[in-house]
A and B are shown apart, each in its own frame.
Chain A
């Protein structure tokens, strides 16, 4: 309860901060639209030359893009800004400001994951959900309740995996403070734009087991059109929980290594 109250306060502060800079709203809108436009046009261009790629049609790939944009937006809403403040450029671990975070009387992992919010990411979220809606219409089949539930389960598993991996990459900063591990993940996460079936075998293995991009976007997109069987759903939930546990352990181990930074 106390934690939910804290999150509420974090969000309110973020909104007050954003409202002070109105120009930023329009610029963010421009960035979001550019991101959406290039993504959709990329698919349209590809599928103007071929009907299907490895069984993926324009509609099902569009659904995957919708999942990618939605996940990216949720990440930009709180996970991204919070962990970036910890491990990003001039992050707290590097500058030593992490001391002040550690002094707060709340769980460090909670604070490190939820304290900064970026309300403008709600624009991305709206666009991502819009693409998902358009994709469902394009798919041309009625969305059954079972499919919707499967989709929500898969999306939750995807979000948990995304969070766990970002947390793990951020935790590595305790071992090597100057290196921008989150940027490394950013680069790899872009691969989630397309179904992992489109990549060659060796890369598919990496994207399934090491950086499970497949769990994040491919499985939810399949679930939406009823293609994800229960074993796949359970599997992605298991992957998500396993990554979450490992990432939490890694973060706590890393935390013990933190020795501040002298000025």
Chain B
């Protein structure tokens, strides 16, 4: 089996690197026959952003489709997860809507809060990256061995779960949000500019949250309990990304922190864009911050990945 797999690898340009990968994880080479598509090999030392990325799109797509089909089978479990994630924003929807009563707080009326939080539920679900939690476990329990041996960058594994997850969660969240919108009567005035600006804001928010969480999760290469940092991140997102209150309502220091730190740009910013809370200057500043933080996150991810994989020694097999 090992011979056969290596034979296929020799056709590729990455032979030297993949052989060193073999040595590194030799404890579990038997697994490499599981997945050996005929096309090229993307070795672990290539970052996800290298040029080999394109050649692997076909294999990546197959992985995405497989994961998606698997997830749809277990949908009741994922519906339950989605339900759990919906509850905190829903609580704050009720709290703020009740607090506003007939008046308005910080320019938001009862209906304004309802609209803000219903959009936030959708955005939060779309940008939430649960892969960040599983990547750490994959490294700790040695599951990374088989991922590294695949002729695909492991980032595809995370991406396939992402795509599968989003589809399954949306099957639950969209109908529920629609029903809530019928009951709670949100006030949402959509303009063309806001709607058009919302799409890139959402995409950037997703990418930022994904790569930010991914580099944090990669700390598992060095420390076994790095997921404590992910919990810290979730707490900061809760406070500063517009969940506990729209960032405009945060008191002084917290508001400044929320505008400077990356967390608002993962959730709150797209919501503020769609609900029309921002003027042109705020919109531009927000996009600039999103792009800047995304660049930081991707750079950190690339650095951590290179350094981490070199350090990685297999556990289990």
Contacts and interface: CB of A to CB of B under 8 A. Distances in A.
A184 interface: yes
Given A45-B250, A48-B251, A50-B105, A200 B225 contact: no
A6 interface: no
A41 interface: yes
Given A193-B91, A200-B94, A45 B245 contact: yes
Contacts of B86: 187
A199 B94 contact: yes
Contacts of A54: 98
B93 to A, nearest CB: 10
B84 A187 contact: yes
A190 B243 CA distance: 15
Given A50-B105, A187-B83, A194 B231 contact: no
Interface string B37-63: 000000000000000000000000000
B239 A38 contact: yes
B95 to A, nearest CB: 5
Nearest to A183: B80
B88 interface: yes
B261 interface: no
Contacts of B239: 38, 41-42
A41 B84 CA distance: 21
Interface string B240-252: 0000110001110
A34 B251 CA distance: 19
B232 interface: yes
B84 A30 contact: no
Nearest to B227: A27
A184 B80 contact: yes
A138 to B, nearest CB: 18
Interface residues of A, number: 35
A103 interface: no
B225 A191 contact: no
A180 B98 contact: no
A179 B225 CA distance: 29
A83 B195 CA distance: 47
B235 A34 contact: yes
A38 B244 contact: yes
Interface string B180-205: 00011000000000000000000000
Contacts of B254: 41, 45
Given A180-B80, A198-B95, A23 B225 contact: yes
A23 B249 CA distance: 37
Interface string A12-29: 000000000001100100
A191 B87 contact: yes
B80 A45 contact: no
Contact of A187 (B87, B92, B95, B244): B87
Nearest to B244: A42
Given A53-B99, A193-B91, A200-B94, A27 B245 contact: no
Interface of A: 23-24, 27, 30-31, 34, 37-38, 41-42, 44-46, 48-50, 53-54, 178-180, 183-184, 186-188, 190-191, 193-194, 198-200, 202-203
The 4 A-B residue pairs with the shortest CB-CB distance, nearest first, are: A187-B84, A34-B235, A42-B244, A187-B87
12 contacts: A27-B225, A27-B228, A30-B228, A34-B231, A34-B232, A46-B96, A46-B99, A53-B95, A53-B99, A183-B84, A194-B94, A200-B94
Interface of B: 76-77, 80-81, 83-84, 86-88, 91-92, 94-96, 98-99, 105-106, 183-184, 225, 228, 231-232, 235, 238-239, 244-245, 249-251, 254
Given A27-B228, A34-B232, A44-B251, 4 more contacts: A53-B98, A180-B77, A186-B84, A187-B80
